Structure 1
Amino acid sequence: MFKKIAVAFDESPEAERAFRSALDLATLVAGEIYLITVIENQPAYMSYVSAVAPEVPLLLKNQKRAFYEDLHNKARAMAEQAGISLRSELIEGDEIDALLQGIDRLLPELLVVGLRREPGGFSRYLGGTAHQLALHAKCDVLGVR
């Protein structure tokens, strides 16, 4: 029963709630947690920035990687305190595609995602990241509010 639990993880409050729920569940079933964080591709306008200051895109990417590594280390400390094994992975690319690739590679039994309401209620009509993951992930998905 859900021994291998993946969490779509970033700095958002929704992802933190998803992680805490996954941690609670892993504690109950003696499971393990896998954090998956996507370092999204830089926006197209960064090509203009790199023309003027070629070092800036790499600097920003490295800062983002260091930020997420620190976030993962904090989550790892929480998991260790709860007696839960935690592994983590940073993947570069498009958010949904990269998360699905990570899920295909890890083969978790459950993916935990934080649900968020988009301003203006657009998510009701278009579907957000969690909706796309629920449609395409090859495992069960738990959405946490």
Structure 2
Amino acid sequence: MGFKKILVAIARSPEADRVFETALTLARQEGANLYVFHCLGVGPVTLGPGADLYGEGAVNSAQVQQEVIKKEMEDVEKWLHEYRKQARGLGIPAQFEYQIGDAGWWIREIASRWGADLVVVGRHGRSSLAEFFLGSVSNHVLHHVKCSVLVVQGEAESGIENRESLS
């Protein structure tokens, strides 16, 4: 295979440790560098019950959201630091980064900028219908990065196609 630069994109989900462990194992086997990435998704600013015609409620809501984002960034930095520490403890050169925005776009950007030859991502195991409507970061990555991609399958959601017949 010859992977020397492995980008592992992890979400704050139950699959995160498994996705990271997969990338870590590959990095150790290949003697590769590891780049750990997480993307914070930011929803629209919501106007709470204090919203008014003069915009004071909007300003307050935006300030609250900024505080939430700042706290989230601090938590993510600590979380990613632990992954980097674990890799370095095994002698694997590792760095981390986080961004705010669209995860698929950022993964493609970092893979290109860093020159990754493998991207490891997780897949949440959504039902086909949910994935159709919600999209999929792993699907986006598969179709838009210019290097190899390893998708670590998550647990399947219980959906119609996953249920056993009751008869």
**Normalising by structure 1, what TM-score?**
0.87
1:106 and 2:114 correspond: yes
Contact residue 36 and residue 84 of structure 2 kept, 8 A: no
How many residues are aligned here? 144
Give % identity: 27
Change (3 A) 1:8 1:66: same
Change (3 A) 1:31 1:98: same
Helix, strand or coil at the partner of 2:68: helix
1:89 is matched by which residue type in structure 2?
Answer: E
> Which residue of structure 2 aligns with residue 69 of structure 1?
77
Q: Between 51-60 and 41-50, report the one with greater CA deviation.
A: 41-50
Report how far residue 116 of structure 1 moved.
Answer: 1.7
> Which residue of structure 2 aligns with residue 135 of structure 1?
143
Instruction: Flag the structure with higher helix content.
Output: 1
Report how far residue 113 of structure 1 moved.
Answer: 0.5
2:64 is matched by which residue type in structure 1?
Answer: V
> Which residue of structure 2 aligns with residue 12 of structure 1?
13
> Which residue of structure 2 aligns with residue 122 of structure 1?
129
> Which residue of structure 2 aligns with residue 97 of structure 1?
105
- In structure 1, runs of 5+ residues without a counterpart are none
Contact residue 10 and residue 68 of structure 1 kept, 8 A: no
1:142 is matched by which residue type in structure 2?
Answer: L
CA RMSD of aligned residues (A): 2.1
Contact residue 45 and residue 65 of structure 2 kept, 8 A: no
> Which residue of structure 1 aligns with residue 23 of structure 2?
22
Distance (whole Å) between structure 2 residues aligned to residue 65 and residue 115 of structure 1: 23
